A and B are shown apart, each in its own frame.
Chain A
Amino acid sequence: MADRHPRLKELKFTLYRIFRNPSALIGFCLLLMFGIIAVAAPYIAPPKYPRSPYVMPHKGFSPTPRPPSRQNLMGTTSGQYDIFYGVVWGTRTAFKIGFVVVGIAALVGITLGLVAGYFGSLADEIIMRAVDVAFAVPLLVLTMAIIVAFGRGLENVMFALALVEWRVYVRVMRSGILALRDMDYVQAAKVMGVSHVRIMLRHLLPNGIYPVLVIATMDIGSMVITAAFMSFLGLGAPKGYADWGQMVALARNYIIGPPGDPLKYWYTIAFPGLCIILFVLAWNLIGDALRDAFDPKIRRG
């Protein structure tokens, strides 16, 4: 088996390093659980309106939450929305937000970072100055400004976040490419007349992508947090949409119960809140393990 492809061998070593880390195992288990819930959502919580499964079903309009019962496994939140249903379908929403935002931002960022790092000179100057400007305004403020410009809604929140977050990937990708650009094998490829696109995609990208992967993994968590906060403020998902941030918003007036029983409505915030925290935690644990696994300094100890 000595003639196996070197990349496969490296991958096996990397996987071994990742799974030796107990916190990564916890992260993967959590993620697996969320993944199963998201995929099996129609079976776990059958939608009441098959055409719009993301709308949380509710019986009545009473604002007072009801405790967990046989009909509502986790109780109902204000407006009588079923918490169990919201938590299950909210998992899908969270995955959607994370993958779409990070996917778009990383794609744009990686492309621009590659171009800036590889060609240098004018292209580099223009792209990096634009990134400098984009970095000057904090994530939350710029996202809010863009949402106000394009209107509310979950799609617009995702769009706005992607429009802000690409800047991170450009910087990370570019610094990775700069270290590789003058290596002998790249020079050799150039001399042999390999096209620019092919050098960038075949030779630079596979070697410079690891820091981007680490950042992207952790970014999924922080993007879900930011999107949840937007929904919490009422800028994101419309009312009744299965979204953890919005469920926290619905619970907001009930975090403090009547006098004498201050934690009466604990279930309204506990379940969606726990979901957000565990989801983000899972991605962060994996990201942390990936960073340790990819770090060349401590890779072979």
Chain B
Amino acid sequence: MLVFVLLGVSVLIFAILMTFSPERRAMTYVETPQQVKDIPQIIKQHGLDDPAHVQYFRWLKQISTGNWGWSFVAADTVWNAFWRYLPITLELNLFTTPLIIIIGIWLGTQAGIHKDTWLDHLTRIFAIIGWSLPTFLFALIMLMLFYGYFPLFPPGIIGDKVQMFILENPDKFHSYTGMYTIDGLLNGRLDITLDALRHLAMPVFTQVVVVVALLMRVMRSSMIEEISKEYVITARAKGADNKTIYFRHARKNALIPVVTVAGWLVAFSMEGSVSVEIIFNRRGIGWWLAQSAIALDIPVLMGMCLFFGLVYVVTNLVIDILYAAIDPRIRLT
């Protein structure tokens, strides 16, 4: 099933690719301006005039060996550039995802327990506003306030001084993961970690506020549904106190539909990094994707479609496994 989805995505991407003329597709093989005059040869050499199905299987073979083409924006092969940009986005999501899940589940539970109280209405207003805020606009406003008005959190990934230090002392700072917060700790340089965290604060906050709303609402309605079920009444009749009922009985069952949404949100927040990275000038996957779209860098966009398809497939797999862990009635076959 999942393999099928991935294959389908590759067909979809290839279909988009085939809307380009052979000349334009030949451009993706060009790495220097001098090669532009060789385009007819490139078309012949790579068989870009062949029937569609022949080209598709050839393209699939290329993709699976890691030959994803050349990226103008990164001035590197798509494959290399991808691994260079990935840690930046991963770092952002490493901080946002747990926050989104913890805050979303906690607030949603509270709102569900205290239905129709001021807390519930407050979270409802917060959810609708968070939902209506375009990420890029909210990010700009945050930048305006917390960099312009209160110069607290600068954009970028790390400060100039730290950047200079790393460039000048390549022997003192070894890049293990490409994530500055973790590398700083691994190198025993707490100041670099703190500096990176200072740059991360606003992007993380922006993304959490925008994404948490949905998870919160799903958790709330799921919690309300569970509380009205009969086993809760039985537990109450037995004399169990509210804390036991809500957190030991109801919440566990209420989590089941939430897992689907949470898994979906992980993929979604990868997508949300596009606007955050553009505004806060963090050169990660999202930034690269947007720049490539502006520069009409075809191989990057096709590669990203495939990458996000992979993220989706893996996320679905993880959701299935989590289901079995939460709900023992579901068995993996």
Contact = CB atoms under 8 A, between A and B. Distances in A.
B134 interface: yes
B13 A145 contact: yes
A229 B270 CA distance: 16
B5 A136 contact: yes
Given A233-B278, A235-B293, A248 B137 contact: yes
Given A229-B134, A277-B132, A132 B293 contact: no
B201 interface: no
Interface stretch (B77-85, B144-152, B187-195, B250-258): B144-152
Which of the four size classes fits the interface of chain A? Answer: 35 or more
B16 A255 contact: no
B4 interface: yes
A136 B148 contact: no
A146 B16 contact: yes
Contact of B305 (A137, A255, A262, A281): A137
Contacts of A145: 13, 16, 293, 301-302, 304-305
B143 to A, nearest CB: 6
B267 interface: yes
B173 interface: no
Interface string B125-157: 000110111111100110110011100000000
B144 A269 contact: yes
- Of A235, A255, A266, which is in contact with the most chain B CB atoms at under 10 Å from its CB? A255
Determine chain B's interface SS by DSSP, over half rule.
helix
A276 B16 contact: no
Interface stretch (B89-97, B237-245, B307-315): B307-315
A144 B301 contact: yes
Contacts of A144: 289-290, 293, 301
B294 interface: yes
A229 B271 contact: no
B13 A263 contact: no
Contacts of A221: 132
A79 interface: no
Contact of B19 (A140, A150, A234): A150
A229 B5 CA distance: 28
Contacts of B148: 255-257, 262-263
Contacts of B268: 138
B9 interface: yes
A34 interface: no
A129 interface: yes
Given A273-B141, A277-B133, A233 B294 contact: yes
A149 B271 contact: no
Contact of B9 (A136, A225, A248, A277): A136
Interface in A123-150: 129-130, 132-142, 144-150
Contacts of B19: 149-150
B33 to A, nearest CB: 21
- Closest CB pairs A-B (n = 8): A133-B8, A256-B148, A262-B148, A138-B271, A281-B132, A144-B293, A280-B132, A225-B134
Given A138-B267, A145-B13, A257-B148, 8 more contacts: A136-B5, A136-B308, A137-B312, A140-B271, A225-B134, A256-B143, A263-B148, A273-B141
11 contacts: A133-B12, A136-B308, A140-B274, A141-B305, A145-B293, A149-B17, A228-B134, A228-B136, A252-B140, A263-B144, A281-B132
Interface of B: 4-6, 8-9, 11-13, 16-17, 19-20, 128-129, 131-137, 140-141, 143-144, 147-149, 267-268, 270-271, 274-275, 278, 289-290, 293-294, 296, 298, 301-302, 304-305, 308-309, 312-313
